[in-house]
Amino acid sequence: MNLGIEGQVALVTGAANGIGKAITLGLASEGCKVAVLDRDGALADKVALEIHESGGQACAIAVDVTDAASVASAVQTVVAQLGGLHIVVNCAGFSMDAAVTSMTDAQWHKVVDVTLTGAFHIVRAAAPHLTAQQYGRIINITSRAHFGDVNKANYSSAKAGLIGLTKALSLELGPQGVTVNAVAPGIIETERLRALPYLQGIEERSKAVMPIKRFGTVEEVASLVAFLASARTGFISGEVVHISGGRYG
């Protein structure tokens, strides 16, 4: 299927590793010019170089999504260097697990500020470019954890907030030709997951409640994002698409 996005400009946050990197490379393989945004500028440069070496176009920008001025500057740089903006993927986020009784203010704010407030900063800066051309795709990477998870009050709240943001923006930006959707991965095999010392326990507990008895892959998530970013999905908006092996709660 031709997704109709060849030559379009895509901006991805949290793009230097894991799911974000797979999304970035996936959009580049569809012919998008990709802006690789990440807090780690050196890793972002490596991803952009990989795209260049495969014949694509990319730029790397080190950015802290919690810094509104930095985000605004980064979006302007993307438009100037790559010639526009059509697709925005908010993937920046991380977890800092703790029981609610011992969770610090810093643990709460760091996770919420990056995952939820960071997405707001990106959309606020990008939306004028999308609405001016009466076309755009915004995809927010949430998580199955939006249903709630043990010791993840900060993470689950931030990911649930992304769903609220998605639905609100779909109503606000839809009349200007911009669709807004969310992707909610379950257990996805990444380098970070494989490095966890308690991986075996996670794997056993997860597979016990998953109809599809395996971890998902970052490439599967990237394929779903590419579909929602495509020119063929103009009548899909405000949706949360789970990619979790059939597990929801």
Show which residues are catalytic.
155
CA separation for the pair 42, 181 (Å, rounded): 30
Ranges assigned E (strand) in the chain: 9-13, 33-38, 58-62, 87-90, 136-141, 178-185, 188-189, 216-217, 240-243
3-state helix, strand, coil in the chain (%, to 5): 50, 20, 35
Do residues 88 and 181 touch, judged by C-beta distance below 8 A? no
Q: Which residues of 28-67 are buried (b: 16+ CB within 10 A; e: fewer)?
A: bebbbbbbbbbbeeebbbebbebbeeeebbbbbbbbbbbe
Residues 6+ apart with CB under 8 A from 232: 1, 3, 4
Q: What is the end-to-end Cα distance of the chain in Å, rounded?
A: 32
Match 């802290």 to its residue by tokens: 64
